[in-house]
Amino acid sequence: MLNLTRPLNAVAGQRNGARIFKYIIVIDLEATCYTRTVHEHEIIEFPAVLLNLVTGKIEAEFRQYVTPLMNPQLTRFCTELTGIRQEQVNAGVSLSNCLLLFDKWLKTVLAARNLFLPRTNPNDPTGNVAFATWTNWDLGECLSKDCARNQIRKPAYFDLWIDVKSIYMNFYKRCSDNLSEALSNMGLIFEGREHCGLDDSRNLAKMIVRMFQDGARFEITNQ
Ligand code: AMP
Ligand code: MG
């Protein structure tokens, strides 16, 4: 797996006496898109990377292409933006199956490390792992709307997340519209392809590692 940067000095699970997450699960969804601005987004790529905040390493990855139901034909604009091809979504699964596959992956990687998401363990309601995204769009908008549209019950664990963009802006007192610009402001290089969900997730993980080394605190931002 990708070795992101130098090891971290923080004591596992603590910083300045405050509880911190040991692990972060970075998610960056890709969705159908068009040149016009107002339209509904359907998820086409669902990736996740499990980042060990203490070592700065990615320990596991998940990726599933999803077949959009409403507009199964990708626009050329969408393929050019995301790099996702028609045959990849044709060979994908429905959103509900994707969420089942993700749930299976999630349970396996969490159980192997004794990790708990916030509010999933009565003995440890804070949890020691949390989801992180760039902006609130992925879990606050895209996934919620796509689940509602498909009449899928969204797992409650998706209700809490860390918006890395807001932490980045508050911590560095800097504004960046997109992930690659933020990385570049930090002297980091975006590796891979922008708007490829898995590459975006890996690069956001790299950014989180640097922010953690710089002293940023990662807490749930939407409660
Ligand atoms: P991102 O995480 O920035 O790669 O974007 C997530 C999704 O937002 C993409 O899969 C597209 O559906 C949509 N999106 C991102 N950038 C654009 C853009 N410039 N124009 C239209 N849609 C976009
Ligand atoms: Mg992306």
How many structural domains is the chain composed of? 1
- What is the percent of the chain with per-residue pLDDT over 90, rounded to a whole number? 87
Asked whether residue 24 is domain-assigned, the answer is: yes
33 CA: nearest ligand 1 atom: 12
Asked whether residue 182 is domain-assigned, the answer is: yes
Q: 165 in ligand 1 pocket by Cβ < 6 Å?
A: no
The predicted pLDDT at position 14 comes to 60
Q: 200 in ligand 1 pocket by Cβ < 6 Å?
A: yes
The predicted pLDDT at position 147 comes to 98
Asked whether residue 8 is domain-assigned, the answer is: no
Active-site residue, 30 included: yes
Residue nearest to ligand 1 atom 9, measured at CA: 30
Asked whether residue 26 is domain-assigned, the answer is: yes
* Whole-number CA gyration radius for the chain: 17
Q: How far, CA to CA in Å, does 18 sit from each of 6, 26, 163, 218?
A: 23, 22, 19, 11
Domain that holds residue 132: 14-214
Q: 138 in ligand 1 pocket by Cβ < 6 Å?
A: no
- DSSP string covering 96-153, please? HHHHHHHHHHHHHHHHHHT---TTS-TT-TT-SEEEEESSSHIIIIIHHHHHHHTT-P
Instruction: Output b/e per residue, 72-109; b: 16+ Cβ within 10 A.
Output: eebeeebbebbbbeeebbeebbebeebbeebeebbeeb
Asked whether residue 56 is domain-assigned, the answer is: yes
Q: 221 in ligand 1 pocket by Cβ < 6 Å?
A: no
Residue nearest to ligand 1 atom 19, measured at CA: 81
Beta strand 129-133 with 43-52 is unpaired
Identify the CATH number of the domain in which residue 190 sits: 3.30.420.10
pLDDT (mean) for 119-136? 96
Asked whether residue 9 is domain-assigned, the answer is: no
Asked whether residue 159 is domain-assigned, the answer is: yes
| pLDDT at residue 116 is higher than 50 | yes
Asked whether residue 6 is domain-assigned, the answer is: no
Query: Is-contact 88 66, C-beta < 8 A?
Result: no
pLDDT (mean) for 130-144? 98
pLDDT digits (tens, 9 = 90+) for 146-203: 999 999 999 999 999 999 999 999 999 999 989 999 999 999 999 999 999 999 999 9
On whether the pTM is more than 0.85, the answer is yes
Residue of 135, 186, 190, 185 lying closest to 164 (CA atoms): 135
Mean pLDDT of the chain: 92
The predicted pLDDT at position 18 comes to 55
